[in-house]
Amino acid sequence: MSTEPVSETTASSVYRLTLSIVVTTLCRLVLNTARRFAYPFAPALSRGLGVPLTAITSLIAVNQATAVLGLFFGPIADRLGYRLMMLTGMTLLVAGMFAGGLFPFYGVILVALFLAGLGKSIFDPALQAYVSERVPFHRRGLAIGFLEFSWAGSTLLGIPLIALLIDRLGWRAPFFAMGSFGILGILVLRIIVEKGRRKPAPDQSVPLFKGAWRQLLRERAALGALSYAFWISVANDNLFVVYGAWLEKQFSLSIVALGLGTSVIGIAELAGESLTAALADRLGLKRSVIVGLAACLICYGILPFLGQTLGMALTGLFIIFLTFEFTIVTSLSLFTELVPTSRATMMASYLASAGVGRVVGALIGGPIWLAGGICATALVSAAISGLALVSLAWGLRGWRKP
């Protein structure tokens, strides 16, 4: 894989890059839906599998833990090529989804979501590195913002469609649907996304993984980014893992109504990603991340005051996920430039740290919700977001683009 940014500005090269971004965004839509659908439909999955709700939240935590394994695939992607890793990620998704659909047992579903989560953990850093290598820094917010439309799309389109599939065909139907779309994604990726060139052979005296991680540990900005990723993910999943149960209990929502209500979160995320694409480059990525995180912290704090009616509750969730998504997507755009020589390694480490945070958030979310309801959940998320803000400010103090 070449370390030099692509310099061609011909219409054909721009078209090819644009088409690649569109195709990979659609592939990420499937991956993100597979990662997220267990959250709002945890009660349906628990009933279908005949296990308690806590078993499903534990399953979600295992799914999130796969991000840690991305640490090992980031350096490989930097060495062998980003397209290969994207195809590998989609293949694992397909295997997991069809296994879950064919064998409806808790252990198999655990493995299925593990494979889907691992596929995303391999796919995402490779894609972010692939695009960042080809898009100038002053346009990075626009490019990464567009890629992240797939995250909002998973809630805005994927989750409601899964709700309809579960309602009409049963809880196993989504596994077959996502597996089929995964196969289609593999075929299109092979045609559209260019292979790129391998990097020159490295110094064999320095082990692949040790050398890559050592480079990250020397950068204060990278360390601050990893700490930020952990704390902000703990805060978000602490809420995200129980919001479906909150809406279902507080307002007696049906499965279909819950899926449609979740679309509000998708709209908020789409708005946040659109703000990143439209404004982050103009305002400056560094400034935008700090302002967005401060706003997110405040929004967690006011959520309990907005939960008196369904409309107010959905408004509160909308505000939270808008500010959160703007912050996350803008930070992704910024962090792709922290270690330019090892982009996939940096982003895989970022996603691994975020994944550990999501595991912690998923594990503490249930007990906190049971102990103190939405008020305790919101206040804990606000306090943890404060730790993320401190970490980010420390890491980025004095940082300038190389």
156 lies in some domain: yes
From the list 33, 180, 173, 25, the residue with the least C-alpha distance to 113 is: 33
Look up residue 105 and give its amino acid: F
**CA neighbours within 13 Å on the CB side: how many for 253?**
27
From the list 203, 69, 183, the residue with the least C-alpha distance to 124 is: 69
2 lies in some domain: no
pLDDT for 91 equals 94
Whole-angstrom distance, CA of residue 112 vs CA of residue 94: 9
Look up residue 332 and give its amino acid: L
Whole-angstrom distance, CA of residue 151 vs CA of residue 325: 9
Task: Burial-class residue 189 by CB neighbours within 10 Å (0-12, 13-18, 19+).
Answer: buried
Element spanning 251, H or E: helix 243-251
401 lies in some domain: no
Helices 343-396 and 285-302 pack at an angle, to 10 degrees, of 70
Whole-angstrom distance, CA of residue 28 vs CA of residue 20: 12
Within 10 Å of residue 156's Cβ, how many Cβ atoms? Answer: 20
DSSP 155: I
6 lies in some domain: no
Whole-angstrom distance, CA of residue 238 vs CA of residue 229: 14
Whether the CB-CB separation of 29 and 150 falls below 8 Å is answered with yes
State the Cα torsion 142-143-144-147 to the nearest 10°. Answer: 120
Task: Burial-class residue 261 by CB neighbours within 10 Å (0-12, 13-18, 19+).
Answer: buried
From the list 320, 319, 311, 305, the residue with the least C-alpha distance to 385 is: 320
Structure tokens at 375: 């008020």
Q: Compute the Cα dihedral for 33, 182, 121, 110 and give only its sign.
A: positive
Angle CA 323–389–316, to nearest 5: 30
pLDDT for 396 equals 84
Whether the CB-CB separation of 392 and 225 falls below 8 Å is answered with yes
From the list 129, 98, 128, 132, the residue with the least C-alpha distance to 112 is: 98
pLDDT for 5 equals 46
Angle CA 350–90–242, to nearest 5: 55
Q: Which CATH number fits the domain that encloses residue 151?
A: 1.20.1250.20
Angle CA 192–279–121, to nearest 5: 45
198 lies in some domain: no
Task: Burial-class residue 192 by CB neighbours within 10 Å (0-12, 13-18, 19+).
Answer: middle
Write down the pTM of the prediction: 0.74
Total domain count, the chain: 1
278 lies in some domain: yes
Local confidence pLDDT in tens for the 402 residues of the chain:
444 444 444 667 777 788 888 999 999 999 999 888 887 777 778 788 888 777 777 777 777 777 778 778 877 877 788 888 899 999 999 999 999 889 888 888 888 988 998 999 899 888 888 888 888 777 777 888 888 888 878 877 888 888 888 888 888 889 999 999 999 999 999 888 877 655 544 444 445 555 566 666 777 888 899 999 999 999 998 998 788 777 777 777 766 676 666 677 778 888 888 888 787 778 888 888 999 999 999 999 988 888 778 888 888 888 898 999 899 888 888 888 787 777 777 888 888 888 888 888 978 888 998 888 888 999 999 999 999 999 998 988 876 765
Structural domain of residue 351, as residue ranges?
A: 11-192+208-396
197 lies in some domain: no
402 lies in some domain: no
